[in-house]
Amino acid sequence: MGKSSKYPSYSSGTVTLNGNTVASTSKKGNTVNSTYNMPETEKNIYDYAQNSFLTSLPQINVFSNDTRKDINSQLEAYKNRGVQTINDIYDPIMDDLKNDVASRFGNLNNSIFMDNLNDIEENRAAAISDLAQDIEAQRSSLYNNELTQRYNYLNFLNDIQNQINNNALNYMGLSQSNSASGNSYNQNAYNANLQRYQLPIETAIKAAMLASKFTA
pLDDT at site 5: 56
Of 13-22, 52-61, 67-76, 134-143, which gets the smallest average pLDDT?
13-22
In this model, does residue 45 exceed pLDDT 60?
A: yes
Phi-psi category of 29—alpha, beta or left, where left has phi over 0 and alpha has psi -120 to 50?
left
Domain ranges for the chain, please list them: 13-215
Question: How far is Cα 158 from Cα 203, in angstroms, rounded to an integer?
Answer: 66
How confident is the model over 46-93, as pLDDT tens digits?
999 999 999 999 999 999 999 999 999 999 999 999 999 999 999 998
Question: How far is Cα 198 from Cα 154, in angstroms, rounded to an integer?
Answer: 64
pLDDT at site 74: 96
pLDDT at site 205: 62
Chain-wide mean pLDDT for the chain? 86
pLDDT at site 140: 96
How confident is the model over 152-176, as pLDDT tens digits?
999 999 999 999 999 999 999 999 9
Mean pLDDT of 120-144: 95
In this model, does residue 19 exceed pLDDT 60?
A: yes
Q: Which residue has the higher pLDDT, 173 or 1?
A: 173
* Range of 85-94, 140-149, 177-186 with top mean pLDDT: 140-149
The fraction of the chain above a pLDDT of 90, given in percent, is: 56
The amino acid at residue 109 is: N
pLDDT at site 162: 96
Q: How confident is the model at residue 202 (pLDDT cuts 50, 70, 90)?
A: low
Pick from 209, 197, 203: nearest CA to 5: 197
pLDDT at site 78: 96
Q: How confident is the model at residue 114 (pLDDT cuts 50, 70, 90)?
A: confident
Question: How far is Cα 60 from Cα 70, in angstroms, rounded to an integer?
Answer: 17
In this model, does residue 216 exceed pLDDT 70?
A: no
**How far is C-alpha 101 from the chain's CA centre?**
67
